[in-house]
Amino acid sequence: MIEQEKAEIRFMTMEDIEAVMKVERDAFPTPWDPGIFKTELTSNQFAHYLVYELNDEIIGYCGLWIVMDEAQITNIAIHSSVRGRNHGEQLLRYVIAFVKQMGVTQLSLEVRVSNTVAQNLYRKVGFREGGVRKNYYADNLEDALVMWVNVNESE
């Protein structure tokens, strides 16, 4: 018998920070400090953070800021042990549906110019290139590609 995976996307809680940090450290060369997540969850009125649970284990998350009718993804990541299985696409599509419900019309993000896998995913769900932020990433001064989507036109 094949066991069915149980997937759930829900809002992040303070209790989730330790598990989110495992994903954060796995995904990014300069991970955020746990204190940043605490501040985002408790003090930033514009912040919304979601976690992706697979079989009751957090394997990914997405943070975003919503201001008026615009939103920006601050970070999105799936643990490398489960990448390539459409979890990132599911999370991203969920986020797009969520911000659309919140009255958002445009969603944007920055992605490393070298991260073509992520760029391809963003394009797949309707993101377009909007410009380049020079020397954006502090760890190696890599440029960031700014991408955005009109959520009313996304796939």
Q: How far apart are CA 137 and CA 151, in angstroms?
A: 26
Say what percent of the chain tops pLDDT 70.
96
Q: Which CATH architecture has domain 7-150?
A: 3-Layer(aba) Sandwich (3.40)
- Residue ranges covered by each domain of the chain: 7-150
Mean pLDDT of 69-81: 96
Q: Which pLDDT value is given to residue 140?
A: 85
List, in sequence order, the alpha helices (H) in the chain. Answer: 17-27, 34-43, 87-101, 116-124
Q: Which amino acid is at 153?
A: E
Distance CA 51, CA 154 (A): 22
**Across residues 132-141, what is the average pLDDT?**
87
Handedness of CA 98, 10, 91, 147 (dihedral sign): positive
β-strand 70-78 against 106-112: which pairing, if any? parallel
- Residue of 49, 122, 142, 155 with catalytic role: 122
Is residue 122 part of the annotated active site? The answer reads yes
Q: Which listed residue (110, 129, 136, 142) is catalytic?
A: 110
What CA dihedral angle connects 49, 124, 5 and 3, to 10 degrees? -170
Taking the whole predicted model, whether its pTM rises above 0.75 is answered as yes
pLDDT over 90 percentage in the chain: 85
Sort strands 144-150 and 47-54 into parallel, antiparallel or unpaired.
Answer: unpaired
